[in-house]
Every structure is written in C-alpha cells, then in structure tokens.
Amino acid sequence: MSPKGRLAALVVGIGLAAGIGIAAPALAAPNTPLAAPAGVTSTTYTYGFEGGDWEGWSPEDGGNTRGWWIDHTTARAHGGSQSLNYQLDGTWDNGTIWIEKAFTTTASTALPVTVTYWGWSPASGGPGSGYWLTTASIKGTDHTLGATASNPPWDNLGTWDITPEQYYGGWHQYTKSATVNTVASGNTVYVAIALHANFETTRDYLHFDDVSVTIG
C-alpha cells in the first residue's frame, strides 16, 4: 500500500489546459482532519480491494442511472495489484454511482470522521473533453434513501472535485471530513465515495483505490 499523505483537493473550476494559455486550477489547502472529542479513541481503517474483495463496501447508484457498474480490475492500481473501476454512461448528462460502507461507532453528538481515497484517470484536453465530479460523503443515514438520478443524496454537488483527467491525469488523493451525530444515527456512520456525470459521454476508465477512513 502506498503511504497516505494528506494531499490537496483539486479546485472545481473550468479552464483550458496551460498549454493554450490558461493555467490549471491552483491547489486548495489540505483538508485537516477533525479533532476527536475528549475520551473518544481514534481508529483508522484501510482498504485496498485486493483479490476481488469488497471489504464490506457495496456498489450502488442513485436510481435511473444509465449503463453503470463498479468492479475490480488489475488494469491499474495505486497500491497492490487491484483497484475499483467505475463505469458510467453519462450520455443523459446525469447519474451518480458510489461505493458505501456502514461503520458501527461510539455514541457522540459530533463524532469526527475523515475519509481519504485515490482516484486515477488519464489526462485530457480540458473542458471540451468534458469533466466529471468525484466526492466522498459522510452521513448518519444510508445514501440510497430517497435517491434518484436527478436528485442524488449528495450535498453541494457543484463543489465536488473535478476528476483529475481534467487537467493533470494520473493518481490524485481526495480528502473529506465531517462530524456525525451518532446518538441520532444509532451509533452508525455511512461513508461513500462517488462519481457523478455532468457531461454527455461514457467513462469506463476511472479508478479508485487505497481508501482510508478515520473515525474519532
């Protein structure tokens, strides 16, 4: 497994590649993990999806999503020999797919949770090639509840990170932190890692790997 450094999230924006005169977006400041409340022990879980093992994660979609799947692949990996390949037909200019896992936690009105993951895609020629969005989500409820393709269960869709093929290509790390009222959620936290289509094309080469979830 590769080390899990806290790297910067990509800034959502639209611009042409630097080669035609407009620079790629600047990198934002790192997302600092939230501090655990007094008396709460911090635990980190790591997942590499080796050997075809889902490791408790499940592939899901927002409903009415066209032509999608998430599966294991040996074509590319950030660490080890396998990653998850997200495929989504975005020709309807819509659709959200994700993996999700429920974690049993201690009771807290503000339990800090941080998830990091690595995403890969090839370099492209800029906005004319289309750009897709990725994010992690941390909630006290299952992400499938009330979900539809046009109304996905995700907050602040417009502030998601652009997938790295937009400007950079290759592997890039993303980080998301939040607090969850686990007293209200029955001592359960749901973590999801999603891909959202906002350009009318099909993508079947976006890879995700080396997920780390820190609770507490």
The CATH number of the domain where 84 resides is what?
A: 2.60.120.260
Question: Does 174 fall in a domain?
Answer: yes
**Cα-based torsion angle of the residue sequence 72, 75, 79, 81 in order, rounded to the nearest 10 degrees:** 80
Q: pLDDT band for position 5 (50/70/90)?
A: very low
Largest CA distance in the chain: 54
Question: Does 134 fall in a domain?
Answer: yes
Task: Report phi then psi at 51, rounded to 5.
Answer: 65, 25
Range of the domain at 207: 46-215
Question: Does 99 fall in a domain?
Answer: yes
Check residue 80 and give its pLDDT: 96
Q: pLDDT band for position 148 (50/70/90)?
A: low
What are the Cα distances from residue 107, in Å, to 44, 162, 186? 17, 34, 8
- Which of the residue ranges 4-13, 86-95, 170-179 has the most confident prediction, judged by mean pLDDT? 170-179
Question: Does 34 fall in a domain?
Answer: no
Question: Does 165 fall in a domain?
Answer: yes
Question: Does 125 fall in a domain?
Answer: yes
> What is the pLDDT averaged over residues 9-35?
38
Question: Does 14 fall in a domain?
Answer: no
Lowest average pLDDT, out of 15-24, 72-81, 120-129, goes to 15-24
How many domains in the chain?
1
Question: Does 89 fall in a domain?
Answer: yes
